Amino acid sequence: MKPVILDVDTGLDDACALLLAARHPDLELKAVTCVGGNVGLDEVVINTLTVLEAAGRPDVPVARGAALPLLQPVRAAPHVHGTDGLGDLDWPRSARTPDARHAVELLRDVLLEAVRSGEKVTLIPLAPMTNIALLLRTYPDAAAGLREIVFMGGAAGIGNATASAEFNIWTDPEAAAIVLSAAGDLGVPVTMYGLDVFYDVEISLEEARALEGSTSASLARALIEKRSQLYRAKAASIGDGGAVCAVIDPAGLTTQAFPLRVELSGNWSRGRTIVDTRDWSGDLTSDPHGAAPTVVQVATAVDGRRYADLWLRTVK
């Protein structure tokens, strides 16, 4: 089993990812940490506990993290996830309370235990990376427990929050920049599962409506039906769930190594992930910035059917 931690701002597609991570037999879900993003932090925590209960995983510790980005207010997305973050499905809420530790402390403790045991953990941020930035700057020694970071965010092409920026990065670009810088300094491999592949793992309404027989399957069906309704389509992407698929089955994802920066200024480009696809073996000395110091594996293509089948098999 591959040990993983998810960092979430649980909306509809985070819920798809949580169901997969909680149910797949090849993953050991060590913890889930919460951050404000798609909805406020209180709703994120409630949603996360609710999804894990539906998945039959009340054993997984869940911790509250940062309520706000480092330098700006939360920019919620009720038009995408409903006012409660779970599509206003009126799903029965969990009565469980979160772990007493702050998310950064829970991350630190799990990763330092991984250092002691020699079993490294894959960290999967599916939200603004505020918690991860705070972790890597406050407890850099905990990075020794990381096998890799596979984050959902960014884009080599167009954005969705703005023409330039993807929502998770746009919500806290300073945090994303810190994570990239710290990962480069600490030698942690990073994969970016961005908008270039985000929409390509789709579940049809017909497939969703065949999900039955367990609470997790019923919730999975409701999530896809709601996402299809919001997008007025006959299918819906599992969104963040694709990043978890990529950890389970890396062969379904095509990546290329590129230097990566986050734009922190600019009226129209703040939050953009600048994927530098130029050939640096040539003469690019005219660029005063030089190559970005952190090189990231950027997802450029995904076998959508392969990952859709993986998700369907697991949640039902």
- Structure confidence at residue 207 as a pLDDT band (50, 70, 90): very high
The arithmetic mean of pLDDT across residues 197-211, rounded, is 96
**What is the predicted pLDDT for the residue at 266?**
86
The two three-digit tokens of residue 188, written as one number: 């942690």
The two three-digit tokens of residue 46, written as one number: 């409630």
- Structure confidence at residue 142 as a pLDDT band (50, 70, 90): very high
On the question of pLDDT at 140 being above 80, the answer is yes
Which residues partner with 27 through β-bridges?
2
Encode pLDDT of 148-173 as tens digits.
999 999 999 999 999 999 999 999 99
**What is the predicted pLDDT for the residue at 169?**
98
- Structure confidence at residue 97 as a pLDDT band (50, 70, 90): very high
In whole angstroms, what is the distance from residue 217 CA to residue 185 CA? Answer: 42
Question: Per-residue b/e over 216-255, b at no fewer than 16 CB within 10 Å?
Answer: bbbbbbbbbbbbbeeeeeebbbbbbbbbbbbbbeeebbeb
Cα–Cα separations (whole angstroms), residue 165 to 66, 67, 263: 21, 21, 9
Domains of the chain (ranges; CATH) run 2-315 (3.90.245.10)
Neighbours of 315 (CB within 10 A): 27
pTM, to two decimals: 0.96
Neighbours of 28 (CB within 10 A): 15
Cα–Cα separations (whole angstroms), residue 173 to 127, 223, 235: 12, 28, 31
